Amino acid sequence: MAYQVLARKWRPRNFAQLVGQEHVIKALANAFANERLHHAYLLTGTRGVGKTTIARIMAKALNCETGVTAEPCGVCSACTQIDAGRFVDLLEIDAASNTGIDNIREVLDNAQYSPTAGRFKVYIIDEVHMLSKSAFNAMLKTLEEPPGHVKFILATTDPQKVPVTVLSRCLQFSLRNMTPQQVIFHLGRVLDTEQITYEAGALNLLGHAAHGSMRDALSLLDQAIAYGAGKVEEAGVRAMLGAVDQSYLFELLDALVAQNGGQLIAAANAIAGRGLSYEAALQELAHLLHQIAMVQMVPGALADDLPIRDDILRIAQAISPEDAQLYYQIAIHGRNDLALAPDEYAGFTMTLMRMLAFAPVPAGQLPLAQSGTAATAAPASRAPVAQQSPAAVTENSAETPSDAPASTPGLIPVRAAGSNSQNSETYPAEASAEKGPESNTGEGMPWQDESAAAAPPPARPTEFDGDWRGLLAQLRLGAAGMLAQHAELLRHEGDCYYLRVAEEHQAVATRDFQEKLREAISDYFGREQQLKVEIQQQTGQTPAQLAQRERAARQDQAIEAIQQDPFVQTVVRDFGGTVIADSIRPL
């Protein structure tokens, strides 16, 4: 277990060892060489690009006993103590967990005192956007009148969440994601130094799998070395990454083209049988569909030497551009939903079933409506195995992207669909899916509010319009919501609300809840409002009672509708209405 992972062993200890951030390094090194120092730096960039690594090198550059330098010596006591993580004047705070320092605010308040051992007191604050308000204030106090001996090095993955007051006082550097080429080159150097043999194709796979993060790349390389028993070979790395052999993907696509569900599942099982990753499979499938869509739009888009070129062209001819679009989007969403399925296999096959079931809307008929409107064309369904009944055509099988990029030829719309952050958690058309009165279940569940959440909030009224339930729905009430739900509005005069609560719910009519409710209403209308609550034997029109009645009506309606349904009638007729299943039946 003495083995030290490569990511730690190869952690850069000076600017020269850093890979891929030349623009930042050059600026920083210049500044340090000329002692042009700023009192606060902000390093931004995605995870694993080297923010904290650079911050620590900066701390050494500032405190090295050879003087402020772009080339910290690495051997003096300041340098070695910083490397070992026990330099008294370097305070590392992780704002995401508040670890290291229990009371950040106090620590920041202490910034005014001189450093104990070093030249500067250096504060490295990681994920700074997650600092508490009081901690930010303490930091601002120092930033506004910085003592000469204090340096802040802030790092964040999310600079937009850092208060402007802080941003404006920092010298900002944005770190770039590593390119696959940079990663591949660096991995090669590491392996040469470690005297481990490797195949170039293996590094190529790893370079792409690292998604721009050198730390991830080194971690993957570690895994690859262990997996390959000390060698890094392409076949082993492919297997380790669960990278899917493209031929499996074409089997899936062929089954889709043939609209053959059994064949589709067989192809999925082949992937499962090889122990490949479903996530990787969906990602690769999406990538492939993107290439197919490209070729459909720009026939010369593929490199001539691409080994799978012929297969791509074959599928591109067999499916319409709308199909390619749709499949792409379903693949992307299916990948996001994998963790929510009963298991990954089910998540994967459900995604394939979705592709199978939805035919595209003919070009030109795509709904151009904005999301939120209910205009969804009716994609014809194809149900290959089960008996196909006309009834299986539904109006809300809305898998069509509501932003309908396919109808604007000339663009390359496929990417945009997947990166649509607003809808990344839902299906593109979910927000615009038909929500007639029948499918409105009354009480809003979080997943039914997505269209509402996307819409801009309506302007706030200044006067109460008499709709008590409507008003309550707008308020954030917390526990006081229990009072609101059981309070019937008797009348409303001026800014005063007369409420009645039944005796049985007296317990929720506390002074506390009344005050909370009053505050919430006052906040909503922007001026003080009054509540008068009386307790009476019973009520008839509280929001809770109304909702209860609506649910009962909804139930009746549902039962009636389902019993009149021809399909269900068949069920009732053929199976005697109720089917009593034995507790567990043998196979």
Tokens of 170: 């920092």
Binding residues among 156-175 for another protein as defined by CB under 8 A = none
Q: Which residues pair with residue 44 across a beta bridge? A: 156, 174
d(C-alpha 233, C-alpha 203), whole Å: 9
**Of positions 378, 454, 535, 546, contacts another protein by CB under 8 A:** 378
Binding residues among 407-426 for another protein as defined by CB under 8 A = 425-426
**Of positions 342, 456, 494, 526, contacts another protein by CB under 8 A:** 342
Task: Give the binding-site size for Zn ion (rule: CB under 5 A).
Answer: 5
Give the list of residues 6+ apart from residue 260 with CB closer than 8 angstroms, or none. Answer: 384
**Three-state secondary-structure class, residue 32:** helix
Q: Does the protein bind another protein through residue 195 (CB under 8 A)?
A: no
**Of positions 35, 36, 133, 386, contacts another protein by CB under 8 A:** 386
**Of positions 200, 258, 507, 562, contacts another protein by CB under 8 A:** 562
Binding residues among 47-106 for another protein as defined by CB under 8 A = 47-48, 85, 94, 96-100
Q: Are strands 150-156 and 530-536 parallel, antiparallel or unpaired?
A: unpaired
Q: Measured from the CB of residue 145, what is the shortest distance to another protein in angstroms? A: 31
Phi, psi of 358 (to 5 degrees): -110, 120
Helix (H) or strand (E) holding 125: strand 121-126
* Partner whose footprint covers residue 565, from another protein, Zn ion, none (CB < 5 to 8 Å by kind): another protein
Q: Measured from the CB of residue 303, what is the shortest distance to another protein in angstroms? A: 31
d(C-alpha 261, C-alpha 586), whole Å: 27
Binding residues among 248-287 for another protein as defined by CB under 8 A = 261-262, 264-265, 275, 279
Q: What angle do CA 280, 286, 290 make, to 5 degrees?
A: 145
Contact 527, 561 (CB under 8 A): no
* Partner whose footprint covers residue 64, from Zn ion, another protein, none (CB < 5 to 8 Å by kind): Zn ion
Q: Which residues of 341-360 are buried (b: 16+ CB within 10 A; e: fewer)?
A: beebeebbbebbbbbbbbbb
Phi, psi of 122 (to 5 degrees): -110, 125
Give the list of residues 6+ apart from residue 245 with CB closer than 8 angstroms, or none. Answer: 238, 274, 276
Q: Which residues pair with residue 150 across a beta bridge? A: 121
**Of positions 185, 345, 498, 524, contacts another protein by CB under 8 A:** 345
* Chain centre distance of CA 236: 31
* Partner whose footprint covers residue 394, from another protein, Zn ion, none (CB < 5 to 8 Å by kind): another protein
Q: Does the protein bind another protein through residue 364 (CB under 8 A)?
A: no
Binding residues among 425-444 for another protein as defined by CB under 8 A = 425-427, 430, 433, 438-439, 441, 443
Minimum CB distance to Zn ion smaller for 37 or for 76: 76
* Partner whose footprint covers residue 37, from another protein, Zn ion, none (CB < 5 to 8 Å by kind): none
Q: 184-189, long-range: CB within 8 Å, 24+ apart, which pairs?
A: 185/19, 186/19, 186/20, 186/214, 186/217, 187/217, 187/218, 187/221
**Of positions 392, 490, 531, 544, contacts another protein by CB under 8 A:** 392
Give the list of residues 6+ apart from residue 505 with CB closer than 8 angstroms, or none. Answer: 482, 486
Phi, psi of 369 (to 5 degrees): -60, 155
Contact 554, 568 (CB under 8 A): no
Minimum CB distance to another protein smaller for 62 or for 433: 433
Minimum CB distance to Zn ion smaller for 28 or for 162: 28
Minimum CB distance to Zn ion smaller for 82 or for 104: 82
Task: Give the binding-site size for another protein (rule: CB under 8 A).
Answer: 108
Q: Is 502 left (phi over 0), alpha (psi -120 to 50) or beta?
A: beta
**Of positions 164, 303, 340, 459, contacts another protein by CB under 8 A:** 340
Binding residues among 56-115 for Zn ion as defined by CB under 5 A = 64, 72-73, 76, 79
Instruction: Tell me the per-residue interface mask from 206 to 225 with another protein, x by CB under 8 A, - otherwise.
Output: -------x-xx--x--xx-x
Stretch that binds another protein, among 163-171, 226-234, 302-310, 404-412 (CB under 8 A): 226-234
* Sites of contact with Zn ion (CB under 5 A): 64, 72-73, 76, 79
